[in-house]
A and B are shown apart, each in its own frame.
Chain A
Amino acid sequence: MNVELPPLLHALLGPLEPAELQLLLQQVESKRYSPGFAVFHEGLPARDMALLVKGRLRISKLRPDSRQENLAYVQPVALLGLAAVVGGFPYPTTAMAQEPSICLRIPGALLAPSEDPIARGLALKLLQASLRGMNAQLRAANARLYSLAGERELVEALTLDLGAWSLPSDP
């Protein structure tokens, strides 16, 4: 493929040891998507993240009235499906190729603790990148909520009891 992977992965994860990079390259799968083909579908179990390295994806969500609504267009380099994979919930949206695209599929299993020190080092770097990415998403959502500062009860209702979700299904 015409994409130089190591610099992309270093940009995403920070400096990687040669053994970590080798392990990552063994585990990720590079996939090509023709226009109209889905990288992932809303509602399906989220098992891997998709790093868009070439092309363009449309992100959409099915509305209750069965309308497929476009939410965004994404260009390289973008990591998709992060929160769903880490949180263990289905993909919340559908990502479809708008033009010939290449994604690296990064298995969520790489985030799990491992007895192998190389795998553990890689997991740590993936977790750190995931936390930074999700923290940015959460900050963006909170920033939008700040505009509702005049309605304190509303902000509380949207944010305060979110923590309860992390209890029941954690291993």
Chain B
Amino acid sequence: MKGLLILAWFSLAGCATTGEGDPRDPLEGLNRGVYKFNEKVDDFVARPVAEVYDDFVPREVRDRVRNFFGNLADPFIGVNNLLQGKATEAFDDWSRFLLNTTFGLLGIHDVATDLGLEKHNEDFGQTFGRWGAGTGPYLVLPIFGSSNLRDGVGLAADMVTDPLGEVSPNRARNALVASRAVQTRADLLGAGRILEQAALDKYVFQRDAYLQRRRSLVYDGRPPREKFE
């Protein structure tokens, strides 16, 4: 079934591509379609919910929620750091998890940062990039949004290793996954407003920002300088 979907995706993409496209985005026609669909979902569901959350939940509480989910992510951020050969960072991530889970009361307080252990941003897509995998074509995934072939595979690995996947019963797991999604979307409200303001073509602006951002993350904020022609 999944194979069929992917097949349908690529055959659709075949019809949708036009001549003068961006070489990084050969599936632009299809991607724009998915982008439009995602925008609708965002307009009618995701953003309104995130706005209510942002307006009615006090900032203090939102910070605790963000810390809680951030803490759950730290062990696998450590695994990814280790896979990228950064043992010191990995050790920091696991220390963060131990400190925050205990002294930080299940992670709602980020005591580790106050102790000088900085939070990192790692995932499997970045690990593959570090290992030398190219990005492949840019992809807009339904619901998840901007991605590319490499990061899409990475995302699948992130989901398999997601600690929330272990939670049972399913109802509790779904509630946690949904809360995390609302939290994540709420944190992006500011960025969304900036995108609305800044972009002539939102699709292009977001795509280029995503590609730049991921490149920077793969190199931990110090990518080799690209030449301005």
Check if A and B associate: no
